[in-house]
Structures are given as C-alpha cells and as structure tokens.
Structure 1
Amino acid sequence: MAFGSGERVVFVHGTDSFGAAAWPHQHRLAGRFDCLFLRRHGFDLQAEPLPTDFDEDARIVGGHLGAGAHVVAHAQGAVAAMMAAVEHPDKVHSLTLFEPACLSLTADLPATRAYRQRLEPLFAARGELTDEEYQREFVRLVVGAEALPLATAADRAQAKRARLQAPPWNAPLHIVPGLPTLVVTGGWEPLYEEVAHYLAGTGAIHRHAGGDHRPQDSDGGHALLEAFLARKALPD
C-alpha cells in the first residue's frame, strides 16, 4: 500500500500486525513522502500463513525501493531491511530500525545468548506443538505471562504465523558501512539494547523512546523518525 509523494519511505513490519496497520502513527508522513507499507512473505489476510523466508522478505523490500528509498523497519522486519541494504547499497538511502531483532549479529553476546538458550528448545519442538501450545509457551518464556485465548480467526492465524517464524539468530546479516542508520529502542528489554549497542558500535545512531517494544507508536519515537528523515540533528 502506498501513499503520498516526495522521497520514498518503505516500511517493513515485525511479526504482529502488517501492512499499513503496523504503522498507525506513520500515516501522517504520507503528505511529505511516498510511503509504502509492505507485507512480508507469508503475511496475508486471506492466504494461509507461511514459514519465514529471509531471502524472500529481502526481495520484497528490494522490489519496492524504486530509484531509491529510506527503509524503516520494526523487530524482525529489520532483518529484511538490512539484507535489502546489502543487496541494493545504491538504492537504500537510510535505515531506521525500531527494536531490531537482528540477533545473528549479537548471537554470542550475553543477553542474546540467554534469549537463545531459553527459546531454542521451543523452536526445536514447534513441529510437534499446536499453534495454541506454541503461543502459550512462547509468551511464558518471553514475557512471563499467560497467553490470551485464541478467540477469533485472526488470533488463530497470528498464532500459526508465530509458530512458523524462523529463529531470528539464523538470519544471514551483514553491516553496510557508511549507511546512515538510526536505531530506536524502548529501553525496557536488555536484548534489544544489546543489539542497538552493537549497531551503534558500527556507526549507527541510537536513541531511546517510550512505547516499550513499539517505540514507533510513541510521540518521541515518531519525532525521532521525522527528524532523521528530514536530516535534522537528533536530540540526545
């Protein structure tokens, strides 16, 4: 889905909502930019969910860059964004990554290693679990809470999609030297702070905003994105 005119901005969602629905606060950019809100491989309201395909996700992003674009991504969408930047360094003008799940970059660092140790048995067993069983265990392991019942068809599709997601630490990621990159985290989870710290060490700008795992939904997170796209100095 595309809106607006001006410089192109390609938005790449995470694993919950997708398309334009994943970026409710960013619609306001459409008056100044040519905004494209993508759907990654296997994310469709009508079709059955499909397993993660990192390469296909990167092809989807690459196929929407046009003559060149800024790419904005959330969580696992950051994997596709970074892979597309490697494939099309002349077409990706900048990256903005909200809570990037680029765990293959930090696989041997403490927070990521602990996360992997917690989740790897569940990923290994997911073929033997129902979608509801997988969701219940995933929520317990990640946030220490009880998963909500799968009350609607959309809930059931989302649970199936979640079970089919590949471990993000297996993604083939590389850094694009010199590419202007902003990383925005919510400051709530050491895992994402570790990824952000790693990326900052390669030249990215790292800033905190509210909104926990969705800092793009906070006023501060959206303001950072607007300033970065406008090439303005960012507040500390």
Structure 2
Amino acid sequence: MAQQRIVFVHGAGRFGAAAWPGQHALARSWDCLFLRRSGYGLQVPPSPTDHAADTAAILSALGSGGHVVAHAEGAVSAMMAAVSAPARVHSLILCEPAVFSLTRELPATTARRALLDPLFRAAADLTDEEYSREYKRLVVSAESVPDPGNDPRAAGRQRLQSPPWDAPLDIVPGVPTLVLTGEWEPLYEEVAAFLASTGAEHRPVGGNHRPQDTAEGQDAITAFLARAAAGETVGCA
C-alpha cells in the first residue's frame, strides 16, 4: 500500500525540514514533504508575504491529496489550501496558528493589532535590525524562549511580512482539524478556542510557541494523523 502524503508548512525562523525536527521519524511510514514557503531559503533574498504562492505550493505538493501540518504563519496558507480544495486536504494540524484574521475582533487579537499595527506601518522606514529589535521588544515575553531558527536573513524577511490579521482567510469546510497550543500566550489560546468552536480539536501541550517539539505534541500529531488516515471521526473545522 502506498504511503499517504504529509506536507509540512513552516512558520518564521526555521524553514524546510529544519522546522520539524520532532516529525522526521514520520517519514518511516508516511510520504513526508517539508515545504519551503515563498521567499525562504539560504540563498533566497527576503521578499514580501505571498499567500497565493504558498497556497499553490501546498496544493502542488499534495498532488491528489494528503495531510497538512503547519506552524504559526504557515497555517494561513495551509487553511487557504483547504478552503480552495477541501477534498485534497485530508486533515489539518495547526501548531500555534497565526490565523488572526479569523479572530481580529476578539480581545487578545485586537490588543495585538493595536500593539503591532504602528510597527507594520513604520516598517519601510526601519532597517531590518531596527524592526527585528522592536518586534522582539513588543512581542517576546519573558515566558517565551526566542527561536534562533536556521535563517541568516530572518530579520529581513520578518520586516517584509504583511500583518497576519489581514490575510484573506475563511473557515475551512469540514476538514478534520487539530490545533496544538503551547499554553504561554492568550493570543494563540484565543485562536484555538475560536477554531474549536467551529469543530476543530484543541490540545494544549506546552512548549511555548513550538508545541510540536514537545513529546506530548509529537504524540498528538502522530495519533491524529493515524486516526484521520484510518477514517476515524476526528474534529472538523
């Protein structure tokens, strides 16, 4: 029997297979593709957010169909792919999804917008280092360990990203969905609660902004994929 495909979609900081160290073992029994989003790569210059290109890349990687596992900003294009072709996305696993356009009017997202909108508006007038320093000052809490990542041009890429609450997102129709959160930031718990209200499963597993790296998160991903592949009833957003 042919292995079922999983497409992994990274957030910021790390890209490709380096963004998913805890999931490499899944390649023993699944056809795993570790996507690099548009504008990411060691030799790739920073470029603005391109949700359409990322969505097209996910759908191309899925071929006739498979499962999608996405982190942070990568969850935006993952959900867009599921909205575009729900029959080809057999399940979604979203790790701390930055799908804030779905929750833009809720309290934690509204507060984050008020905090960061001035920085997004000033981005063109700042250097990469100035923008990165201010972003970390505003966002990175004492409870969160910053991810060093594997991207030497991370600061430049970060400065060119569009506000995540402006992404063109809709609710995914009937695709089995698991949301993992790290139990550190109310913003992501708010998103998870919203997605759970639409039918998704929510598992808080610790690990700050990288819940997929925890043992509980890895187990949750493996178990959910097995259930979805077997056609068992799982949460549908």
Scaled by the length of structure 1, what TM-score is found?
A: 0.91
**Structure 1, unaligned stretches of length 5 or more?**
146-152
Provide the residue aligned with 2:109 in structure 1: 112
Provide the residue aligned with 1:84 in structure 2: 81
Secondary structure of 2:94 counterpart: strand
The offset of 1:164, in angstroms, is: 0.8
Give distance in 2, aligned partners of 1:195 and 1:130.
31
Provide the residue aligned with 1:140 in structure 2: 137
The offset of 1:67, in angstroms, is: 1.3
Give the 4+ runs in structure 1 shifted more than 6 A.
none
The offset of 1:233, in angstroms, is: 8.6
Secondary structure of 2:91 counterpart: strand
Matches within 5 A, 1:203-218: 203-218=199-214
| Alpha-carbon contact 1:227-1:233 (below 8 Å) kept | no
1:40 aligns with 2:37: yes
Superposed CA deviations along residues 123-174 of structure 1, whole A, max 9, x for unmatched, are 00000000000001000000257xxxxxxx954x110011011111010111
Matches within 5 A, 1:26-105: 26-105=23-102
- AA matched with 1:114: A
The offset of 1:177, in angstroms, is: 2.3
Provide the residue aligned with 2:159 in structure 1: 163
Give distance in 2, aligned partners of 1:144 and 1:134.
17
Give distance in 1, aligned partners of 2:87 and 2:233.
24
- AA matched with 2:192: A
- AA matched with 1:22: A
Q: Percent sequence identity over matched residues?
A: 61
Scaled by the length of structure 2, what TM-score is found?
A: 0.91
1:182 aligns with 2:178: yes
- AA matched with 1:229: L
| Alpha-carbon contact 1:19-1:38 (below 8 Å) kept | yes
**RMSD of aligned residue pairs (Cα, Å):** 1.5
Give distance in 2, aligned partners of 1:208 and 1:33.
25
Secondary structure of 2:100 counterpart: coil
Provide the residue aligned with 1:150 in structure 2: none
Provide the residue aligned with 2:146 in structure 1: none
Structure 1 residues 42 and 65 mapped into 2: Cα distance closer, same or farther (>3 Å)?
same
- AA matched with 2:20: W
- AA matched with 1:85: A
Query: Which fold has the larger relative contact order, with Cα–Cα distance below 8 Å and residues 6 or more apart in sequence?
Result: 2
Residue range with higher mean Cα deviation, 214-223 or 171-180: 171-180
Superposed CA deviations along residues 64-112 of structure 1, whole A, max 9, x for unmatched, are 1111110000000000100000111110000000000000000000000
| Alpha-carbon contact 1:68-1:93 (below 8 Å) kept | yes
| Alpha-carbon contact 1:177-1:202 (below 8 Å) kept | no
Pairs aligned (count): 222
